[in-house]
Structure 1
Amino acid sequence: MVFQANVIRIVGLLLTLVLSGCSSIMSSDAAKDPEVKLLKVDVVKARLLKQDMTLRFRIDNPNDSGLWVRGLRYKVVLNDILIADGEYNDWFKVRANGHRNFSVPIRTNLWEHLKEVTRMLGKVNQPVHYRLEGYLKTGFLFGDDVRIGREGDIIPGDLIPE
């Protein structure tokens, strides 16, 4: 019984020390959010039932300390059609006041939206609105989610090679 009480006290003391140490880590100067840019979308393989693509990103870290990235949650929408959504869970570090590029493989299935996508792309001079949204999971012990988003218009006629 005395042994159990001592174990409980030691565990309580360790938890108190760990939590107080974490609060001092958390109370340091507020870190600035990194800037996340979508650089490019590469089509790796396009088949009838599935399309493999790669989203290429750049992260700029404006802080004086390194930034751990734990992954990315994303959604890609054309007009109002959800083309892809998923999660990328690779860890990496962006050096202090530096940047790093990374690639996220995605797989889509346009077959279920073939009629709508064909109609959109068939109007070669009418813009197609795209939207990328999600969040970057950052931090080592205590994470923070940084919202990302980009949207714009694609003119299908501009994508046709001459």
Structure 2
Amino acid sequence: MCDSSNRINCFFSLTAVLLAILVSSCSTINAVPPEINLMRVDVQDVTLSHVNLVADIRIFNPNEKALTIQGVDYTLHLEGIKVFAGQNNMSQIIAPHEYGHMTLRLSSAYWDIIQLLNKLPNKSDIAFSMAGSIRVGGSRIFAQRFSFAKQGIIPLQKTIP
């Protein structure tokens, strides 16, 4: 049976733990969003049903404090067709004013690739757009989400006969 002094001790202990979690989660509230750039995309594997690629992104921390990256959600569109989507939940700490690198696994069904190939016959470049969100914070529960969107052109290499 619990007496009143044990209840008070339990209450104060629980309050202290909750306060510590709240304070640690507030450390990223004033964080400036990290800068994200798509560095390269490589074919990793071709299966009977999917094409698997690997994309490398570079993340710059513009803040005065280290940022803990808790994960990235992303989609990649080529020529306006949503070709790849995925998620990376690896945690990474990036020092202030430094770069970090993250590898994203991309997977696409052949139907999406066929739609893309139908748009490419006479193109010398492929328009891409990558969008998603990056989770930043000391804990996964209280992580702050920053959205990102990047657009650009991927030049196609011409083979010389």
Give TM-score, length-normalised by structure 2.
Answer: 0.80
Cα distance 1:10–1:43, how it changes in 2: closer, same or farther (>3 A)? same
Provide the residue aligned with 1:11 in structure 2: 10
Give distance in 1, aligned partners of 2:27 and 2:60.
23
Provide the residue aligned with 2:33 in structure 1: 33
Give distance in 2, aligned partners of 1:137 and 1:46.
30
Structure 1: gaps of 5 or more residues: none
Provide the residue aligned with 2:120 in structure 1: 121
1:73 to partner: Cα distance:
0.5
Q: Say whether residues 1:88 and 2:67 are aligned partners.
A: no
Provide the residue aligned with 2:54 in structure 1: 54
1:144 to partner: Cα distance:
0.8
Provide the residue aligned with 1:65 in structure 2: 65
Give distance in 1, aligned partners of 2:6 and 2:85.
47
Amino acid at match of 1:136: I
Residues 74 and 85 in structure 1, CA contact (< 8 A), matched pair in contact too: yes
Give distance in 2, aligned partners of 1:29 and 1:115.
43
1:129 to partner: Cα distance:
3.2
Provide the residue aligned with 1:77 in structure 2: 77
1:130 to partner: Cα distance:
2.0
Q: Is the helix fraction higher in 1 or 2?
A: 1
Secondary structure at 1:113's aligned position in 2?
helix
Give distance in 2, aligned partners of 1:95 and 1:101.
12
Query: Can you list the C-alpha shifts for 1:49-76, whole angstroms capped at 9, x where unaligned?
Result: 3222111111111222221111110111
Q: Which of the numbers 124, 128, 132 marks the counterpart of 1:134?
A: 132
Give TM-score, length-normalised by structure 1.
Answer: 0.79
